[in-house]
A and B are shown apart, each in its own frame.
Chain A
Amino acid sequence: MTGLNVLELRGLGKRYGDQWALRDCTLALPAGRVVGLVGPNGAGKTTLLQLAVGMLAPSAGEIALFGRDPREAKSVLPRIGFVAQDSPLYRTFSVADTLTLCRLLNARFDEAWARDRLGKLRIPLERKVGELSGGQRAQVALAVALGKRPEFLVLDEPVASLDPLARREFLTALMDAVAEDGISVVLSSHLLADVEHSCDYLILLMAAEVRLDGDLDDLLAAHRLLVGPRKRATAGGGIAAVVRESHSDRQSTLLVRIDGPILDPAWLVHEVDLEELVLAYMVEQHEPRLRSLPRLEANG
């Protein structure tokens, strides 16, 4: 299993004081995927990513990157690329200085490739990083992260500060690079459109816990939107669990996890898109998951 998974978490938790930023997180990220990490602000996305690259130490549980502790910096650092939130770079450095820094601090850094890439994006190398636009700075950060030729690339909200056009350009550039090298990527975003556009694997974090994770297509295939006359939702007959239900006077709308064809002909069955799926899981948290699931199953 370890050979196939780039990152494995078992019961991983991070606590600040008595506040858990991340709790009981168990995941296995397959290699070669582009993983979208989504969730509202403060859900623990940044904490999870920084744990993954060894910038933070866990308070509980275990984490393995390439089968080892990510904080074994000497062996891990050359194999990862990391762009933290807001793409921090030295603002007083020129772009060329930034490339020099990366060349000197990394045993293998493909400076020619990074220069070439920035040239194509028409980012002036002699310009100070602090004088670049947000989009250009994000591109520089991505270029130097990719220039390390990493096996595992971690991007924390890489497009948050970009306008829609720059965002699309950035993600396209990322996808091209990933397709070239077949590297594993985790990127966090609070914008589902970005994830839908670029990712094939999803992790949803809610209030410091993993609510949902899996292959994006598998997740979409495993859920349906049911619309029909007003009635209580029950498990069974193809419904594995009701994720979210809403009832108007005459009509009920359910988002369900399925384990077979929906047998009840009263339901009109629709496929779900990513946004419906994620929103359903985000709202459901008001009702604790562990209590609601057994009740539904008992009814079935």
Chain B
Amino acid sequence: MSWLIWRQHRQQALFGAATLALIALLLLLTGLHMHSVFQRSGLGRCLTSRHPDCGNLQTAFESRFATLRQLVPFFMALPALLGLFWGAPLIGRELEQGTHLFVWTQGVTRLRWLSSKLAALLALTLLLTISYTLLISWWLGPLDRSTGDRFRPGIFDQQGLVPVAYAVFALALGIAAGAVLKKTMPAMAATLVGFVGLRLIVASVVRKHFVSPVKKSYVPLPGVDTSHPGAWVFSQKTVDGSGHTVAPFTVGSVCRATKSSTQASLDHCVRAHGFLNTDVFQPASRYWLFQGIEAALFSALALALLALAVWWVRRRLA
């Protein structure tokens, strides 16, 4: 089987490897530069020492690499390509061209044929996507540390564990669609729609409910840090004593710091007006938990789709 797999899929494999090599080159060249700027500018040291005032350095760094970062969302399409060009034709093209009748009547059972192919494609997919994910996670590192928003949808999706799970899911979706639809092009279309659709739904609707968010209420005393670095913030709201929502800067303008005011008098002012902040967010500490849950979700779906493909080939195509 291994000779057949190589002979049939070498073009796809080489194309995948070439794409990865190209991306790797791009990421390495820009990434090395970005890492060196990150250290040389002193931003890395500033952030490591938890210095409260790295703001200027951060702004300079982030604006310098803003354009580059905008390129990265294009990479989100990569897993879909695996599903389209590796997954969909795997069974779909055989059925479309009738070659399944040729290859399934050789001395190898169709179950062995399919399991060998699945194993090879999955291994290659894992190899490529794990390499890619390690690279892109390294690449994004300085930006993540500077902006502190790796939990944000769109950035969360590009690193950690999830890209590998997305790729395996896209591959499985393509394979199952090819088996069920029996044609390559419709299977590719279904894979694209299914992959993009599910990714959008999970990212925009499902993900935020993986774990109930933290709701934190506190008095916005001057000097209290209201930011949640690295967290995924859903809402931040300030209310006054009568329960009306006010703009966050209202607190500062009502209880204005003057020459005569002291910390105690400002605190008193804020408390006297009854200002209260309520923040709803997923804390930064849950980043890897969320990565794990989302990766598990897509992996489980991938397994279900692969099981469907195997069942379909064994039972329904008989």
Interface residues of chain A, those whose CB is within 8 Å of chain B, are 50, 53-57, 71, 73-74, 77-78, 80-82, 84-86, 88-91, 93, 97, 100-102, 104-107, 109, 141, 148
| B206 lies within 8 A of chain A by Cβ | no
Q: Which of B3, B4, B97, B105 contacts A91 (CB 8 A)?
A: B97
Q: Which of B49-57, B70-78, B107-115, B181-189 contacts A (4 or more CB under 8 A)?
A: B107-115
B264 at interface, CB cutoff 8 A: no
Max count, chain A CB within 10 A of own CB: residue among B1, B3, B101:
B101
Minimum C-beta distance from A203 to chain B (A): 21
Determine if B104 is an interface residue (Cβ-Cβ < 8 Å). yes
In the complex, residue of chain A having the shortest beta-carbon distance to the beta carbon of B8: A90
CB < 8 Å neighbour of B101 from A74, A77, A84: A84
| Number of A-B residue pairs having CB atoms within 8 Å of each other in the complex | 68
With most chain B CB atoms within 10 A of its CB, the pick from A56, A71, A77 is A77
The interface residues of chain B, by DSSP majority, are classed as helix
Q: Can you spell out 6 A-B residue pairs with CB atoms less than 8 angstroms apart?
A: A85-B98, A90-B8, A90-B99, A100-B7, A107-B107, A148-B106
A123 → chain B, closest Cβ, in Å?
17
Interface membership of B26, Cβ < 8 A: no
Contact B98 A105 (CB under 8 A): no
* A71: contacting residue among B7, B107, B108, B318, CB under 8 A: B318
Judging by beta carbons under 8 Å apart, are A82 and B7 in contact?
no
- Interface: B102 (CB within 8 A): yes
Contact of A74 among B1, B102, B105, B109 (CB under 8 A): B109
- Beyond contacts A73-B109, A84-B105, A97-B7: 18 other A-B pairs, Cβ-Cβ < 8 A, are A50-B101, A55-B105, A57-B315, A74-B109, A77-B107, A77-B108, A80-B105, A82-B101, A89-B99, A90-B8, A90-B99, A90-B102, A101-B3, A105-B1, A105-B4, A106-B106, A107-B107, A141-B102
Contact B98–A102 (Cβ < 8 Å): no
- If A101-B4, A105-B4 touch, does A53 touch B105 (CB 8 Å cutoff)? yes
Number of B residues whose C-beta is below 8 Å from A?
21
How far is it, in angstroms, between the C-alpha of A210 and the C-alpha of B256 when the chains are bound? Answer: 98
Interface centre among A80, A82, A85 (most CB of B within 10 A): A82
For residue B91, give the distance in angstroms from its CB to the closest CB of chain A.
14
CB neighbours of B315 from chain A (8 A): 57
Known: A77-B109, A148-B107. A89 touches B3 (CB 8 A): no
**Bound complex: CA of A54 vs CA of B315, how far in Å?**
11
Does the CB pair B101–A101 fall under 8 Å?
no
Query: Smallest CB-CB separation from A93: which chain B residue?
Result: B7
Contact call B98/A106, Cβ cutoff below 8 A: no
